[in-house]
Amino acid sequence: MEDRDLILRNVEVAGRPGQDVRLARGRIAEIGERLCGPGDSLDGRGGALLPGLVDHHIHLLASAARAQSALLERSRDAVEFERTLREALAARPAGAWLRATGYHERMAGDLDRDVLDRIAPGHRLRVQHQTGSLWILNSLALEKVTAQGAPPEAERDAAGRLTGRIWRGDAWLRARLANDPPDLSALGKTLTAHGITGLTDASATTDGQAAGLLAQAHRLGVLPQRLTLMSAGPLAAPEDGAFEVGPVKVLLDDARLLDLAAFVERIVEARPQGRAVAVHCVTAGELALTLAAFEIAGARPGDRVEHGGVIPADAIPVLKQLGLTVVTQPAFVFERGDRYLAEVDPAEQGDLYRCASLLAAGVPTAASSDAPYASPDPWSGIRAAIRRRTRDGQPIGTAEQVGPMTALNLYLGERRAPGGQATSIAPGAAADLCLLSAPLAEILAEPSAERVRATIVAGRVVFAAN
Ligand SMILES: [Zn+2]
């Protein structure tokens, strides 16, 4: 990768207008007025220069695969669900695979192979539940992947017949699908256009092979962001630094909570690897178990609660006392808020995806997308954190609103210490930057990805708006 020096002219830095910022060897060399130096210059036209945004919890391969899938999220009922699938199937030759994501029972109830066989008798169809924890396959798909036997994750009915429902079977399924790995280039372009320069992939399923795909995409510049990868099992960082190894990811789900002793063991086992632990906690039950496990095993800085979907008020001081970081997804209150208002007990709606109350209690809090389960656009998350409005415009948990600067800061922490000190623009810091099209006060009045003018990683311009 070639390191060309670059001077960003006339940008706003930390509220100071009219600054020049000189980048050299991938770092910020100098900040001041009318700087001189070798290399190219880029006219910032008075726009704010920010540290590059970080998405602290994303699933990269799943997000790339989503781009090639039928998307069910917007289907309101069985008719729309079937129409979406039939349209996607009609565009594929008989026998081909179709992957569909974003299913929820409100569409057509509990799915099984028989329901899918009626819709797709001649294709291999697999449908993912919107939680990501369940796949439902039709008979042709099931036949293909179970040729060498079915895993314990595959549900059977009372008669012992496979129902097509496979819980938490991602790793098993992926190993059996001869599909080409998903193409990361469209996702990489989208993320750079959003001003993102750092990513933490939170997939428990990441193994050496998946990590290798991501590292290669990074080396080729397809995914120019700096990468941290979580995994459930051991993972080694490559010598060239294409990614760093992040926390051990622990998945729970209410349907079959990991028993406490086994959970404590997972935390204890992470320590000799030098790794923190990040726990998927969407429900109050998952959070209670997580807090109990950390109380027994002991928490260390960097341990994380992912999502914090439901955080009862009395759990907040425990989070603080244990020193756990919450990595939340503000955009869920926008994207799924109307359903939460309909389905979540009103007494618990204030516990959903908390933000302001965590910060007020001193709990380190950072934001992320959880893409593909929500949009990867951090600016949409920033808007949601400020406004706390559903897609239909209904307020939800407005006590958790934060100010625009606080919302932005949720995306500015270090990958290694989300929720800690926001990174700043200073000489010596890595030149991972996001240039906006106007001063920050103007941008924060109406945050939008369209205001990103350029994205710079290690001193290289990886995105420039037309
Ligand atoms: Zn996730």
How many angstroms separate the alpha carbon of residue 387 from the centre of ligand 1?
23
How many angstroms separate the alpha carbon of residue 283 from the centre of ligand 1?
14
Q: Please state, in angstroms and as integers, the Cα–Cα distance from residue 180 to each residue in 97, 125, 192, following that order.
A: 12, 17, 24
> CATH for 69-176?
3.10.310.70
Q: Please state, in angstroms and as integers, the Cα–Cα distance from residue 456 to each residue in 226, 390, 419, 464, following that order.
A: 11, 33, 22, 9
How many angstroms separate the alpha carbon of residue 76 from the centre of ligand 1?
24
How many angstroms separate the alpha carbon of residue 249 from the centre of ligand 1?
10
Residue 95 vs residue 31, higher pLDDT: 31
Q: What are residue 21's DSSP bridge partners?
A: 8, 31
Q: Region 101-126: what's the mean pLDDT?
A: 95
Largest Cα separation within the chain, whole Å, is: 78
Question: Long-range contacts for 436-444 (Cβ within 8 Å, ≥24 apart)?
Answer: 436/47, 436/48, 436/49, 436/50, 436/195, 437/45, 437/47, 437/465, 438/46, 438/47, 438/48, 439/12, 439/17, 439/46, 439/47, 439/48, 440/12, 440/15, 440/48, 440/50, 443/48, 444/404, 444/405, 444/408
Residues 431 and 50 sit within 8 Å (Cβ to Cβ): no
How many angstroms separate the alpha carbon of residue 371 from the centre of ligand 1?
7
Location of each CATH 2.30.40.10 domain in the chain: 1-50+424-466
How many angstroms separate the alpha carbon of residue 145 from the centre of ligand 1?
25
Question: Per the structure block, which two tokens stand in for 121?
Answer: 């008798």
Q: pTM to 2 decimals? A: 0.83
How many angstroms separate the alpha carbon of residue 326 from the centre of ligand 1?
13
Residues 382 and 371 sit within 8 Å (Cβ to Cβ): no
E strand intervals along 232-310: 244-250, 277-281, 304-307
Location of each CATH 3.10.310.70 domain in the chain: 69-176
How many angstroms separate the alpha carbon of residue 58 from the centre of ligand 1?
6
Query: What pLDDT sits at residue 240?
Result: 97
Q: Which residues contact 465 (CB under 8 A, 6 or more apart)?
A: 193, 437, 452, 453, 454
Q: How far apart are CA 116 and CA 127, in angstroms?
A: 9
How many angstroms separate the alpha carbon of residue 226 from the centre of ligand 1?
18
How many angstroms separate the alpha carbon of residue 203 from the centre of ligand 1?
7
How many angstroms separate the alpha carbon of residue 25 from the centre of ligand 1?
34
Q: How far apart are CA 177 and CA 180, in angstroms?
A: 9
Question: Long-range contacts for 217-220 (Cβ within 8 Å, ≥24 apart)?
Answer: 217/184, 217/185, 217/188, 218/242, 218/243
Q: How far apart are CA 216 and CA 204, in angstroms?
A: 19
Query: What pLDDT sits at residue 422?
Result: 81
How many angstroms separate the alpha carbon of residue 57 from the centre of ligand 1?
6
C-alpha Rg value of the chain to the nearest Å? 23
How many angstroms separate the alpha carbon of residue 437 from the centre of ligand 1?
31
pLDDT category of residue 75 using cuts at 50, 70 and 90: very high
How many angstroms separate the alpha carbon of residue 376 from the centre of ligand 1?
12
Q: How far apart are CA 139 and CA 397, in angstroms?
A: 43
pLDDT in tens, 277-333: 999 999 999 999 999 999 999 999 999 999 999 999 999 999 999 999 999 999 999
Hey, what CATH topology would domain 53-61+182-422 get? TIM Barrel (3.20.20)
> CATH for 1-50+424-466?
2.30.40.10
Q: Region 328-348: what's the mean pLDDT?
A: 96
Residues bordering ligand 1, an ion, CB closer than 5 Å: 202, 370
Q: How far apart are CA 158 and CA 41, in angstroms?
A: 70
How many angstroms separate the alpha carbon of residue 236 from the centre of ligand 1?
21
Identify residue 169 by its one-letter amino acid code. G
How many angstroms separate the alpha carbon of residue 7 from the centre of ligand 1?
37
Residues 40 and 461 sit within 8 Å (Cβ to Cβ): no
Q: Region 75-104: what's the mean pLDDT?
A: 92
Give the chain's mean pLDDT.
Answer: 94
How many angstroms separate the alpha carbon of residue 279 from the centre of ligand 1?
10
How many angstroms separate the alpha carbon of residue 122 from the centre of ligand 1?
32
Query: What pLDDT sits at residue 415?
Result: 94
How many angstroms separate the alpha carbon of residue 30 from the centre of ligand 1?
38
Range scoring the smallest mean pLDDT among 173-182, 262-271, 408-417: 173-182
How many angstroms separate the alpha carbon of residue 282 from the centre of ligand 1?
10
How does 412-435 read in b/e, with b if 16+ C-beta sit within 10 Å?
bbbbeebbeebbebeeeebbbbbb
Location of each CATH 3.20.20.140 domain in the chain: 53-61+182-422
How does 126-135 read in b/e, with b if 16+ C-beta sit within 10 Å?
bbbbbebbbb
Question: Per the structure block, which two tokens stand in for 308?
Answer: 């914090």
How many angstroms separate the alpha carbon of residue 34 from the centre of ligand 1?
45
pLDDT in tens, 220-269: 999 999 999 999 999 999 999 999 999 999 998 655 666 899 999 999 99
The residue to which tokens 């996001």 are assigned: 434
Pairing of strands 433-436, 452-457: antiparallel
Query: What pLDDT sits at residue 254?
Result: 52
Query: What pLDDT sits at residue 255?
Result: 55
How many angstroms separate the alpha carbon of residue 184 from the centre of ligand 1?
18
Question: Per the structure block, which two tokens stand in for 414?
Answer: 């270090």
Estimate to the nearest angstrom the gap between the alpha carbon of 210 and the chain centroid.
16
Q: Is 306 exposed, middle or buried (0-12, 13-18, 19+ CB in 10 A)?
A: buried
> Is the pLDDT score of 4 beyond 80?
no
How many angstroms separate the alpha carbon of residue 231 from the centre of ligand 1?
12
Residues 405 and 366 sit within 8 Å (Cβ to Cβ): no
Q: How far apart are CA 446 and CA 136, in angstroms?
A: 40
Residues 249 and 203 sit within 8 Å (Cβ to Cβ): yes
pLDDT in tens, 139-164: 999 999 998 899 888 999 999 999 99
Q: Region 409-417: what's the mean pLDDT?
A: 94
Taking Cα atoms as reference points, which of 354, 334, 369, 361 lies closest to residue 401? 354
Q: Region 41-62: what's the mean pLDDT?
A: 97
Query: What pLDDT sits at residue 256?
Result: 62
Neighbours of 220 (CB within 10 A): 12
Query: What pLDDT sits at residue 1?
Result: 43
Residues 187 and 370 sit within 8 Å (Cβ to Cβ): no
The residue to which tokens 């945050």 are assigned: 447
